[in-house]
Homo-oligomer: A and B are copies of this chain.
Amino acid sequence: MTPSEPAETRTTTRATGRSAQTATLAEIAREAGVSAPTVSKVLNGRADVAPATRSRVEELLRAHGYRRRRAEASRSPLIDLVFHELESAWAMEVIRGVENVARDAGLSVVLSESMGRLTPGRTWADQVAARRPHGVILVLSGLDESQRALLTSRSIPFVVMDPAGDPGADVPSIGATNWQGGLAATRHLVELGHTRIGAITGPSRMMCSRARIDGYRAALETAGLPVDPALIRPGDFHHETGYREGLKLLRGPDRPTAVFAGNDLQALGLYEAARELGLRIPEDLSVVGFDDLPVARWVGPPLTTVRQPLTEMAEAAAKLVLDLAKEDGDRAATRVELATSLVVRSSTSVPPAM
C-alpha cells in the first residue's frame, strides 16, 4: 500500500472528519504512550520533542495513514521548490515559471537544493513540515517513502517535474516528450544525409535522459541505420562532459559527421572540442542540442536544438500543486508531458564529402 493512498481515501470522510481525526490523533497518542499535544508538536514540526518520541509518533502516523485535515493545516504563503542541483543551467527557466504562478497566487517561493542526492535530506523534510507550504515541487528529484508519508500526513501536496526516476503511478508529475525530442533531433540529421551519428547521453538514472537516447535509437533503426555502441558516449548534462566525450568521439577512427549532444550544455562542450580539433560546425560536424536555453541562440554558430518549454512546464507544475492544495483538490495523480519541438538553426547541414 502506498503512503499517500489512505490519505486519498481518508479525505472522502472529511465532512465527518473532526471527530474521526481527533480520535485518530488521540489513538496515536495512546499507542505512542505520549500526550495528544506531543503528537501535535510532531505534526507541527516543533523542535521540543525527543528524537525517539518523534520517530515513534511518525511511525504511527505513517502506519495509520493519518492525514491532517486541510482546514487544520493553516498553510504559510509559500511554495517549496527543490532542485537536484542548482548548477543545472536551466534552473533559472524553471524558477521563473514557478515565480510567475506563485506571484499571481500571492505566494513566495522557497528554494532548496538536494545537493546532487536524488532525494532531499531528512532535515529538509522536517523544515517543510514545520513551515507548511501550499505545496512542494521537486525538479529532477524524488522523495523517499518516509518523506512522502511525512508530507502526506501534513496534507502538503507535491509534484515532480521531469522525474529523475520512475515517480510511481500515484505521484503527480510534469515532464516533456523527451523520447519524441530525441527522435526528432536524430531524424533531422538522418534527413540531412548523415549515416554516422554519434550521441552523448545524460545520466542513465534519469528517465528523461533514457527517453532521449531511446528516441535517438528509434530514429536510426526506423531509418535502417546501424546503432554503433562506440558512437554513444555516457554524459551527465554538463559542459565539461560534452567537451571530454566530444574529443573521444571526434578523435576516434571513422568519426561521426553529426552528434546528438543530449542537451545544450554538452553541445557547447562539443563546440569547444570541435574548435580544438579544427573541425568547422556545421561544414565538418553537425550538432544538435536539447533544451533550447537562451545561450543556444547566442553561440556561434547558433545551435540547432530541441526546445523543451521549461518555463511552461514549471508553471504547469506550480498550478498542479496549487490545485492539489485546494480543499477540493483531491484527484487521481496526473502525468502531464508538454510537447518538445525541433528548432533548426545553423549548427546542422549536409555531411561533408568524404
Interface, chain A (partner B; CB < 8 A): 76-78, 81, 86-87, 89, 91-92, 95-96, 99, 103, 106, 108-113, 115, 123, 127, 130-131, 239, 268-269, 271-272, 275, 294-295, 298-300
* Chain B positions within 8 Å of A239 at CB level: 294, 298
Count the copies. Answer: 2
In Å, the complex CA distance between A78 and B108 comes to: 12
Give me 7 A-to-B residue pairs in the complex whose CB atoms sit less than 8 angstroms apart, sorted by A's number.
A91-B92, A99-B113, A108-B131, A109-B111, A271-B298, A298-B299, A300-B300
CB distance from A54 to the nearest CB of B (A): 17
9 residue pairs, one from A and one from B, having the closest CB atoms: A268-B298, A109-B111, A111-B111, A108-B110, A110-B110, A300-B300, A86-B96, A295-B295, A92-B92
* Chain B positions within 8 Å of A115 at CB level: 103
Q: A294-B89, A298-B299, A300-B271 are in contact. Are A111 and B127 (CB under 8 A)?
A: no
* Chain B positions within 8 Å of A294 at CB level: 89, 239
In Å, the complex CA distance between A269 and B127 comes to: 43
* Chain B positions within 8 Å of A298 at CB level: 239, 268-269, 271-272, 295, 299
Decide if A127 touches B77 in the complex (CB within 8 Å).
yes
CB distance from A299 to the nearest CB of B (A): 6
CB distance from A52 to the nearest CB of B (A): 21
CB < 8 Å: which of B95, B113, B269 contacts A86? B95
Q: Closest B-chain residue to A293, C-beta based? A: B295
Q: Closest B-chain residue to A107, C-beta based? A: B127
In Å, the complex CA distance between A106 and B123 comes to: 8
In Å, the complex CA distance between A81 and B268 comes to: 31
In Å, the complex CA distance between A300 and B268 comes to: 10
* Chain B positions within 8 Å of A131 at CB level: 76-78, 108
Q: A111-B111, A127-B77, A298-B299 are in contact. Are A92 and B99 (CB under 8 A)?
A: no
* Chain B positions within 8 Å of A269 at CB level: 298
CB distance from A300 to the nearest CB of B (A): 5
CB distance from A265 to the nearest CB of B (A): 8
Residue of A81, A130, A239, A300 with highest tally of chain B CB at under 10 A: A300
Decide if A111 touches B95 in the complex (CB within 8 Å).
yes
Q: Closest B-chain residue to A272, C-beta based? A: B298
19 extra interface residue pairs, beta carbon distance < 8 Å, beyond A89-B294, A99-B111, A272-B298: A77-B130, A78-B110, A81-B111, A86-B95, A86-B99, A87-B96, A91-B92, A92-B92, A95-B111, A103-B115, A108-B111, A108-B112, A109-B110, A110-B110, A110-B111, A111-B111, A268-B295, A295-B298, A298-B299
Q: A110-B78, A111-B111 are in contact. Are A92 and B86 (CB under 8 A)?
A: yes
Residue of A86, A123, A295 with highest tally of chain B CB at under 10 A: A295
